[in-house]
Structure 1
Amino acid sequence: MALSRDVAPRPKRGPAAPFSFLFPPARPVRPKGGSGELADIREGSPTWTLAHRDSVFRRMLAVADAFSAGVAVTVAILVGGDRPKLGVVAALPLVILASKVAGLYDRDENLIRKATLDEAPALLQMATTYALVVWLVQGVFMEGILGRRQVLALWVFLFVALVVSRAVARRLAVSITEPERVLVLGDADECHELERVFQRSHAINAMVVGRVPLQEEKAGANGGNGHGRHHRPLGTFGELADLMLSQRIDRAVIAAAASPSEQVLDKIRLVKSLGIKVSVLPRLFEVVGSSVDVEDLGGVMLLGLRRYELTTSSRFLKRALDISVSAAALFLLAPVLLAIAIAIKVTSPGPVLFRQRRIGRHGKSFQMLKFRSMYDGADEMKPELHALNEADGLFKIANDPRVTPVGRLLRRVSFDELPQLVNVLRGEMSLVGPRPLVGDEDAQIKGWLRRRLDVIPGMTGVWQVHGSSRIPLREMVKMDYLYRANWSLWLDLKILLRTVPFVLSRRGI
């Protein structure tokens, strides 16, 4: 195969001079050995490699950890009213060692480049270990410079500083490194689906550059619905090696419903030998998500599917969280709720609360409460405005003429949904769960996706933190189903923590 040689090298990004130690020079990947097609490609391998990009992430995370330790130790000493002691300051490098032991600088890019909130448990464990080690070491060798109150301050501030500084470091690393270039091996629908996933994921700095069909497509076929800019293939499967070079691919994603053929496996081996990451998107993921166990049976890898049902203790913990948070929120927000009710009553005729029938757990309907944000009788105007609907499967209009001025302000910060705390207290809703759908929307959900109703619907959910108004109904329902399949108390807490910035930034409106 003739391979292209006129490939422009990737620009070397990142500041120079005093901070150049954070940004090592890009080096080409040159695997040893080989000949023929593989050797030709290696000579022109991309200069900005995954290893280099991940090295930038690791170094910036190490700097963030050292900074966090310095801040935490300084605060701990100031809490006791003392001046910094040289012995305590000398213990700062321990945080780097603790992070390394915890795997927080792992070479696996899935660990170092994931969202900071996802690694919060590991950061809490690392902060606890570091605080205990510092307490023991300074108690034995430094005559107890830090007291218990100072060690507690060290632990709290170290954890907070780690979360904040690592989030900032990752954002900075994303801004100064090139996006990971992804080639999809599959059809147009799968390519478009992956493109949407990368666009809404802030932890993954990646872009889909195109696709290559695994099987020969009919002439003139657009491949699926034609959405996106990659509905036409970049080339044929036989030209894969040349495309990897000319398009400077970092990752190849195999989106195949069936098991790959021997020819596909040969190309996978070729791509892996170039230092290009290979990922597989099995269609089974739509059903089981990440709730699988990998079993090795004599060299044969099997995927074991976990049970979906929440245990009694899990339901108790989830319900306890719902009751405690909703009751506390209603008590603390009582003045705000009263002010909103008065504003609605004064500015437009009609009731303060809007009640709408929604479909809850096991298909049982309930009356969901919201502050009325539209003029009275807005539901009767819905058929007239159907042509303005901008959502797939849902009814949403960007500048809905039925919304009152006060309602527009409430919707901007999602305060119109605060009365749903009463639904949560009643047990009709949960703080986190599947989106509660109206009857005509629920009627569109068929088959195994209806299992999403095995859990109580929520005020927020995965759909909210991924931009609820921009997600088609079927994709939103899949998110609900996967939430049910992968539920944990920590998952609920993460979604709650992510909801606030998404609402304030209006990305979920």
Structure 2
Amino acid sequence: MSTQELDGLDLLGQPLVATPVRVVEPVRVTPPVVEPVGHAPVALPVGPRFGVWARRYVAALTAWDVLVGATAALVPSIISETLSSSAVRILVLGAIGAVVWPLAVGAMKGYQRRAVGVGSDEVHAVLRAWVAVVVAGAVSAELVPALLETERDALLKLAVTGTPFAVALSVGGRFAARKFLHRQQRAGRLVRRVVVAGSAAAASQLIQRLANESECGMTVVGVCVPDAEVAGLVGLQVPVLGDLRHVGTALKEHACDTVAVTSDDATRFTYLRELSWSLEGSGVEMLVDPGLVEVAGPRMHIRPLVGFPLLHIEEPHFTGPRRAVKRTTDILLTGVGLLVISPLMLLIALAIKLQDGGPVIFAQTRIGRSGAEFTMYKFRSMRIGAENELASLMERNQGKGGLFKLSDDPRITRLGRFLRSFSLDELPQLLNVLNGTMSLVGPRPHLAHELALMPAHSSRRALVTPGLTGLWQVSGRSHLEGDAAVQLDLRYVENWSLTLDLLILWKTFSAVLRRVGAA
């Protein structure tokens, strides 16, 4: 068994544990069926069902990889003095590339429908295929007779030089395909149709998490709850389709692709087993919510024991070699970034100075790693003396969880509003990254009085270095409520990795350019 995350850059949603369905001829145990309770008509998503559009999506990726494989073989062949001497040889190598590359990606499980649009399995499969093709090319070259030394060297060079090109094109194609898919899913198309099963409280939380993660590709059409909770159940975001015995009928009646089962007393013991039996051969995917909101897939592993499995949760890592790699990456990327954007920073500084003659940099004391204070730098975006006006604006505060937020803050200058809309006011924080008080990616650095108003568990944010950007930046920025931002910070702390950092940096550029949630 394996675990799977709902989000794609992954890690942005609550993980569900996918339970594989065995296609066998079992003794079927079908739970008793009851009629659904009265409810408003179910609003089904538009467009084809998951099985249809997922097959098309995978077919498109396969066709793209065929083209990529052929191109990755043809280009080096044409450039090579040895291989370009024969047009027939070039065409043969192109045909071989068109076959070998998609086969390698497929062998590394790069075309699995369950990974469509979510997680990082697709990219990992491409990277593993890269290694496999290089190794296979090296082995094949060694098997070529010594009399064909020229061809052997050419074959090895083709495997080494062509595969990076193939990786870049395959990953780029998947990125474009996923962006298209996510746009469709935000519009309510090309989604999985889901029935949630479990207690009302747990189901409501799962439904809300899925609703908040539009790019997870799941739309809940209804919920099945224990029989004792059906009567008089109000306030749920989706229709109640019946009790837990009615899941199979609800799935069939509303043409659903997936059932998501919560982890609670209502679904313990034999319920999951009997439900999985009743779904065999139906093509319906069964997901189980482990109930671990802040723990993402990389820390979750199935530990097989004699007779039953247990879910093993690894401890988060806050020290060691990975910390050193993160710091090294911060220094290298920040150094290069400062060299590139230094002319822009000089122009911004000049514009601020000419605006009102006040200071260019706004310095403020924030709380960093291990609760230590540090000075954070930003380009000044407010008028002179803005800090002295804060008390008079507190009654209009729109923030929660100890945060101050005011959408029409009168203290922000015209230039400052422009800088904030593209996060240009935060560029001086790159200096904080260089001196080690901040990282490129991490939790938000807060003021001392803001932290004092936050829940006690929010102190875990101090286990890592605060960041210039983070999950909160790519998940809504200033549109997030205070408590939601803190939860995202905690999720990052519990699951941080270099891969996640790079993904967040990539998504930050998109969020900034689209001005998503700009303050």
TM norm. shorter chain > 0.5: yes
Q: How does 1:50-449 map to 2 (within 5 A)?
A: 50-80=50-80, 82=84, 85-91=90-96, 92-106=98-112, 109=114, 111-115=115-119, 119-131=122-134, 133=136, 140=144, 143=151, 146=154, 152-171=160-179, 175=184, 178-185=190-197, 186-187=199-200, 190-191=203-204, 193-202=206-215, 204-214=216-226, 216-217=228-229, 222-223=234-235, 229-230=237-238, 233-258=240-265, 260-262=267-269, 264-265=271-272, 268-269=275-276, 272-273=279-280, 274-286=282-294, 290-386=298-394, 388-393=396-401, 394-449=403-458
* SS of alignment partner, residue 167 of structure 1: helix
Bigger RCO (CA 8 Å, 6+ sep): 2
* SS of alignment partner, residue 255 of structure 2: coil
Unpaired runs of 5+ residues, structure 2, are 1-22, 36-44
Provide the C-alpha distance between the structure 1 equivalents of 2:172 and 2:444, rounded to a whole number of angstroms: 30
Task: Specify the alignment match of 2:40 in structure 1.
Answer: none
Provide the C-alpha distance between the structure 1 equivalents of 2:230 and 2:48, rounded to a whole number of angstroms: 36
1:476 pairs with 2:476: no
> Shift in Å at residue 371 of structure 1?
0.7
- Number of aligned pairs? 468
In structure 2, do the counterparts of structure 1 residues 214 and 106 end up closer, same or farther at CA, with 3 Å as the change threshold?
same
Q: Are the equivalent residues in 2 in contact too, given 1:344–1:372 (CA < 8 A)?
A: yes
Provide the C-alpha distance between the structure 2 equivalents of 1:244 and 1:195, rounded to a whole number of angstroms: 20
Provide the C-alpha distance between the structure 2 equivalents of 1:48 and 1:444, rounded to a whole number of angstroms: 48
Provide the C-alpha distance between the structure 1 equivalents of 2:323 and 2:29, rounded to a whole number of angstroms: 59
> Shift in Å at residue 180 of structure 1?
0.8
Task: Specify the alignment match of 1:13 in structure 2.
Answer: none
Q: Are the equivalent residues in 2 in contact too, given 1:182–1:209 (CA < 8 A)?
A: yes
In structure 2, do the counterparts of structure 1 residues 58 and 289 end up closer, same or farther at CA, with 3 Å as the change threshold?
closer
In structure 2, do the counterparts of structure 1 residues 485 and 459 end up closer, same or farther at CA, with 3 Å as the change threshold?
same
> Shift in Å at residue 124 of structure 1?
2.4
> Shift in Å at residue 419 of structure 1?
0.7
Provide the C-alpha distance between the structure 2 equivalents of 1:170 and 1:490, rounded to a whole number of angstroms: 18
Provide the C-alpha distance between the structure 2 equivalents of 1:212 and 1:472, rounded to a whole number of angstroms: 30
1:494 pairs with 2:506: no
Provide the C-alpha distance between the structure 1 equivalents of 2:30 and 2:339, rounded to a whole number of angstroms: 73
Provide the C-alpha distance between the structure 2 equivalents of 1:319 and 1:373, rounded to a whole number of angstroms: 29
Provide the C-alpha distance between the structure 1 equivalents of 2:29 and 2:318, rounded to a whole number of angstroms: 54
* SS of alignment partner, residue 100 of structure 1: helix
* SS of alignment partner, residue 366 of structure 2: strand
Q: Are the equivalent residues in 2 in contact too, given 1:433–1:480 (CA < 8 A)?
A: yes
> Shift in Å at residue 360 of structure 1?
1.1
> Shift in Å at residue 49 of structure 1?
5.6
> Shift in Å at residue 93 of structure 1?
0.5
Q: Are the equivalent residues in 2 in contact too, given 1:181–1:208 (CA < 8 A)?
A: yes
TM-score (normalised: structure 1) = 0.80
* SS of alignment partner, residue 110 of structure 2: coil
In structure 2, do the counterparts of structure 1 residues 468 and 188 end up closer, same or farther at CA, with 3 Å as the change threshold?
farther
Provide the C-alpha distance between the structure 2 equivalents of 1:262 and 1:173, rounded to a whole number of angstroms: 38
TM-score (normalised: structure 2) = 0.78
Work out the percentage of aligned pairs sharing the same amino acid. Answer: 32
Q: Are the equivalent residues in 2 in contact too, given 1:135–1:146 (CA < 8 A)?
A: no
In structure 2, do the counterparts of structure 1 residues 296 and 489 end up closer, same or farther at CA, with 3 Å as the change threshold?
same
Amino acid at match of 2:428: P
In structure 2, do the counterparts of structure 1 residues 241 and 171 end up closer, same or farther at CA, with 3 Å as the change threshold?
same
> Shift in Å at residue 391 of structure 1?
4.2
Provide the C-alpha distance between the structure 1 equivalents of 2:279 and 2:127, rounded to a whole number of angstroms: 35
Q: Are the equivalent residues in 1 in contact too, given 2:195–2:250 (CA < 8 A)?
A: no
**Among residues 447, 465, 468, which one is paired with 1:459 in the alignment?**
468
Unpaired runs of 5+ residues, structure 1, are 1-28
Q: What are the Cα deviations for residues 287-307 of structure 1, in whole angstroms up to 9, with x where unaligned?
A: 676513321221222223322
1:506 pairs with 2:515: yes
* SS of alignment partner, residue 90 of structure 1: helix
> Shift in Å at residue 162 of structure 1?
0.5
Q: What are the Cα deviations for residues 290-335 of structure 1, in whole angstroms up to 9, with x where unaligned?
A: 5133212212222233222334212211111122222232233222
Q: Are the equivalent residues in 1 in contact too, given 2:33–2:245 (CA < 8 A)?
A: no
Amino acid at match of 1:100: G
* SS of alignment partner, residue 143 of structure 1: helix
Provide the C-alpha distance between the structure 1 equivalents of 2:410 and 2:210, rounded to a whole number of angstroms: 32
